[in-house]
């Protein structure tokens, strides 16, 4: 049993030392996950990989009632937290781009150059489509999250979900086709 699994099995709610040891063990892997996610973001993104890791860690605090069954479950939860942070960031940026509560003027009175960040729109579209997909296909949606946001291989994601590699491949093919058709990206 790995040190991470042992730490996850401890009652971390009452033990700050165990909590800190877990962070020390997983920090590098979380940072690599975050760097992978940030590489897919727009180049002028204000959120850095380190900040993404720290924000995700705050959302994973054990005192909030989080309990992880194993390493895959923990990293799946971390990937989900990172995904939600990126989606929230994209939504905030899109809201600010649309004025964010500023008094509006008729467009025919003012010339405004329009700058869009396709990546913000894309991540929100993917998130919304994935939420719809999870209603009818929760396990397939979880596979997508593990692959895309956690960075697991098909075999690792299938194992985490308790399905064969062959089933994971079928689910992945179906989910990708569904999401592509739904988002038109």
- Give the residue-averaged pLDDT of 115-140: 78
Instruction: Spell out the domain ranges in the chain.
Output: 3-99+115-183
What's the pLDDT band for 111 if we cut at 50, 70, 90? very low
What pLDDT is recorded for position 138?
A: 93
Q: pLDDT by residue (tens digit) across 5-21?
A: 777 776 555 567 777 88
- From the list 8, 66, 39, the residue with the least C-alpha distance to 148 is 39
* Global confidence as pTM: 0.55
Phi, psi of 79 (to 5 degrees): -65, -40
Per-residue pLDDT tens digits for 27-62:
888 888 888 777 766 666 667 888 888 888 888 865
CA distances from 18 to 5, 22, 24, 76 (A): 12, 6, 10, 20
DSSP code string of 2-49: -HHHHHHHS-GGG-HHHHHHHHHHHHHHHHHHHHHHHHTS-TT-S--H
């Amino acid at each position: 049993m790995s040190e991470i699994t042992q730490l996850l099995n401890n009652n971390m709610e009452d033990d700050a030392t165990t909590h800190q040891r877990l962070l020390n063990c997983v920090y590098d892997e979380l940072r690599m996950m975050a760097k992978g996610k940030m590489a897919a973001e727009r180049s002028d993104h204000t959120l850095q990989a380190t900040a993404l890791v720290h924000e995700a860690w705050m959302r994973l605090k054990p005192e909030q009632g989080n309990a992880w069954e194993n390493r895959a479950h923990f990293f799946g939860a971390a990937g989900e937290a990172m995904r939600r942070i990126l989606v929230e960031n994209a939504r905030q940026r899109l809201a600010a781009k649309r004025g964010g509560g500023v008094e509006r003027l008729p467009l025919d009175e003012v010339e405004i150059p329009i700058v869009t960040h396709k990546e913000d729109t894309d991540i929100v579209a993917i998130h919304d489509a994935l939420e719809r997909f999870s209603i009818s296909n929760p396990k397939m949606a979880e596979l997508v999250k593990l692959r895309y946001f956690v960075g697991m291989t098909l075999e690792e994601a299938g194992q985490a979900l308790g399905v064969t590699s062959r089933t994971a491949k079928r689910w992945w093919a179906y989910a990708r086709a569904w999401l592509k058709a739904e988002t038109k990206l």
